[in-house]
Chains A and B, each alone.
Chain A
Amino acid sequence: MPRLLTATRRAALAALAAAPMALGLGVGPASAESVLRIVPHADLKNLDPIWTTAYITRNHGYMVYDTLFAQDEKLNIHPQMVGEHSVSDDGLVYTFTLRDGLKWHDGDPVKAEDCVASIKRWGQKDGMGQKLMDFTKELKAVDDKTFTLTLNEPYGLVLDSIGKISSNTPFMMKKEHAETDPNQQVPEVIGSGPFRFVKEEWVPGAKVVYAKNEDYVPRSEPASGAAGGKVVHFDRVEWIYIPDPATAMNALINGEVDLWETPAVDMVQLLEQDENVELAVIDPLGTQGWLRPNHLHPPFDNPKARQALLYAVNQAVYLQAIVGDPKLYKECAAYFICGTPNESDVGVGALQSHDPEMAKQLLAEAGYKGEKIILMQSTDIPVLNAAALVTAQVLRDIGMDVEVQAMDWSTLTSRRAEKKSPADGGWNIFHTYATGADATSPIANIGVSGGGVERAWFGWPTDEKTEMLRDDFAREADPMKKKAIIDELQGRLFDHVVPYVNYGQWFQPVAWRKGLKGVLVSPVPFFWNISKDSG
């Protein structure tokens, strides 16, 4: 009997040991594949970074495509796909030669004609691209590796345009794809960048997979921003979209992901307390808040009413409400982002004065008589929700009758296109924000355009002088003269136009597991150069 019991026990143990195999519990052969798992700021829904300006698609663009030029962490422009380039003495002809070893993911070599077609497509879509095309007489391939860009007249932003870091970034695509109508998506994702897009593993709303492009030849210079050598240290990069911030935080703490691109600000403190997590601001330009008045309808069709907003707004109050932690924000009145060469302090007095009495006086001078102000509040984006609530109180404090209309961001983006009067379904004010990289110059910053109903961004500021100064800035190549134009333009914006009220600049930290190294300083998150401690 004891022998039988022992045998039974042995059999039971053997069965228990085998059960995991039968149930598929075995871990299987160890995989040598190295994977970097990140939580991106949004879900990748579409794949063409020229078709859309969405930042997530721009970031996808940097994974799979490459650029002719790129900005380093100090925003200086460097060649990336271009090996050599030159400018004619009269400043009208730019000649670009591609560097050796550039290949598309399907194995074809990258040719100059691909780049010409790509620039033309981007030039139809992007604001800076359109401006460049306005000045361009001819763009043509000379041979397989060389192409030229000939201007009508000297233009100071040629390299700044084709090397711009943010949306729409001029990514190079194969000629047959680049010939697609820019308002339709390209049919396939074939780039020449450091990663290949693994389409069969793409689950929109959940996961995007990139594999290392073994054929990619990085530049020899060290990586800096979008420039330099794009050396990849992982076989795969997986973007795991986790929309719930608490879940994303827990996944990072638990080591299920390596990096979280945009930790919610109210979770930063918790993450700081975790010994396995590191936090850093990698985008020194941060984000700029915009309170956008509608220039078409009273009271904000009157410059004095818009100036009243400058006196009423106190950036510190907004930043406390939307960010909270003073380490992650700064008061900055400049239109073209503090900490950049285009930062200026001309005209900032009104925004820095926090003078509600002056605001009331200006409102009275503008003829405001208590009409209802329609303030559109986007409730699904916490930053914008908080900013709208602060503005409602600020306006009430200066005697305005405010009606806050709550809606989701999708509804707001449709409604803001309405040019009708607020009483007929239009609006007076909404809030948004721009990443610093998109607001550093008068050309990139679409919020300052004074092009009116036809050409300006929603809110439609109209000012010929502003447009003239923006054009002067585009033509000018001398940095000193450029700075003088910036000063004059900013003075004009504060004293007369007030295209929007800047409610502050804040900085989004990135969180990653300790042991991750080489995260690049840049307004765009890049996943080359990053490596993981094996220990």
Chain B
Amino acid sequence: MYAYIARRLLATLPVMAVVGIAVFLLLHLTPGDPAVVIAGDYARPEDIEKIRENLGLNEPLHVQFFSWVGALLSGDLGTSIFSNLPVAKLIGQRLEPTLALAIATIIFAILVAVPMGVIAAWRAGTLTDRVIMVFAVLGFSVPVFVIGYAMMWLFSITLGWFPVQGYKPIGEGFWPFLRSITLPTVALGIIYVALIARITRASMLEVLTEDYMRTARAKGLDNNALLIRHALRNASVPIVTIIGIGIALLIGGVVVTESVFNIPGLGRLTIDAVLRRDYPIIQGVILIFSAAYVFVNLAIDLSYTVLDPRIRY
């Protein structure tokens, strides 16, 4: 087990190296020049050239790359070309909102989707099942921003229950935090609710027809014990897998949700940086996202051993 974890952790190094090289090359080979953006629309070519020189953008590509890698190995993600602030500080400022939104979304999705999937499977073929599946199809089909604006109109503008935009750190109080995170969480979570509910239903249906389930039922176990302790436990590996994939997909969803609800998270930071070609920020954020992706996958793989004792690494 430990050897497996060590091997997986070591395997992240070449993955991160490939991501780093690909991101660096993609960015620097993409048209667009941060010096032009900095200098503004009315700058003269000679001013733009001086700014490029000061920023080191005139250096050959390999020199820029090795200077970035060198700094990276010493723990320095670089400095934003525009704000002159360290990338690590900018990411630090944005990490809490993104993490809060991602964690809240996953918790919300699991708490709503798993019971929905279990009930749909238990009541397969009934009206309850159909209603849940219609919801799942709808949740999958309606884009996050449409759900976001609709909820904003109803719960913020009309009812005044939640703020339209912004994020309150948990340090400013739990209630303001909860109010600021509720609508984005639900808007972003609906698609994951749909996804997880469908997979839960399918897995449960498969398990519910197994012989051991019939035996358990024949022994007179009540529905709760039957569904939760026996069926759900045995159906959990595909569900956990889809939750893991969902966490990875969240990276994309977070970007849209942060824009709609004006949450100053990593998604917004990335978009702004891409539009301005702020290379150090884009490189830093993508490396962080890649690392998160790799570690989430590792955590999911390890969780299988807990959920299914037959699995050994």
Contacts and interface: CB of A to CB of B under 8 A. Distances in A.
A127 B38 contact: no
Given A204-B85, A410-B276, A25 B269 contact: no
A375 to B, nearest CB: 16
Interface string A15-41: 000001001111010000000000000
B259 to A, nearest CB: 5
Nearest to B30: A411
A411 B32 contact: yes
Contacts of A410: 31-33, 36-37, 275-277
A45 B36 contact: no
Contacts of A434: 41-42
B157 A250 contact: yes
Given A127-B42, A380-B275, A408-B32, A23 B175 contact: yes
Interface in B134-184: 149, 152-153, 156-157, 160, 163-166, 173-175
B236 interface: no
B173 A250 contact: no
Contacts of B272: 43, 45, 204-205, 243
A251 interface: yes
Interface in A432-458: 432, 434, 438, 446, 455, 457
Nearest to B83: A204
Contacts of B133: none
B264 A205 contact: yes
B175 A24 contact: yes
A432 B41 contact: yes
Given A23-B175, A251-B164, A51 B264 contact: no
A268 interface: no
B37 A413 contact: yes
Contact of A203 (B45, B93, B152): B93
Contact of A254 (B44, B163, B260): B163
B260 A247 contact: yes
Interface in B228-285: 259-262, 264, 268-269, 272, 275-277
B166 A240 contact: yes
Given A24-B175, A25-B173, A256-B164, A54 B40 contact: yes
Nearest to A252: B164
Interface residues of B, number: 52
A247 B261 contact: yes
B174 A24 contact: yes
B215 interface: no
Given A203-B264, A242-B165, A413-B33, A25 B174 contact: yes
A204 B90 contact: yes
B251 to A, nearest CB: 18
A413 B37 CA distance: 8
B310 to A, nearest CB: 43
B39 interface: yes
A60 to B, nearest CB: 12
Question: Which of A26, A28, A242, A380: most chain B CB closer than 10 A?
Answer: A242
Given A243-B259, A417-B48, A250 B33 contact: no
A495 B43 CA distance: 27
Contact of B36 (A46, A413, A432): A413
A254 B164 contact: yes
A250 B158 CA distance: 11
B50 interface: yes
Contacts of B51: 183
A185 B275 CA distance: 21
Given A23-B174, A250-B152, A411 B31 contact: yes
A522 interface: no
A207 B90 CA distance: 13
A46 B83 CA distance: 5
Contact of A25 (B36, B152, B175): B175
B126 interface: no
A192 interface: no
Contacts of A457: 42, 44
Contacts of A413: 32-33, 36-37, 41
A207 B264 contact: yes
A265 to B, nearest CB: 19
7 contacts: A185-B84, A244-B259, A251-B262, A380-B275, A410-B275, A417-B45, A434-B42
Given A47-B84, A409-B275, A410-B276, 20 more contacts: A46-B84, A183-B47, A204-B80, A206-B268, A207-B264, A244-B260, A246-B260, A250-B152, A250-B157, A251-B164, A254-B164, A256-B164, A380-B275, A410-B36, A410-B275, A411-B32, A413-B33, A414-B32, A414-B33, A417-B45
Interface of A: 20, 23-26, 28, 43, 45-47, 51-54, 125, 127, 167, 181, 183-185, 203-207, 240, 242-244, 246-248, 250-251, 253-254, 256, 380, 407-411, 413-415, 417, 432, 434, 438, 446, 455, 457
10 closest A-B pairs (Cβ-Cβ)?
A53-B40, A206-B264, A24-B173, A25-B175, A410-B32, A45-B82, A183-B50, A411-B31, A414-B33, A413-B36
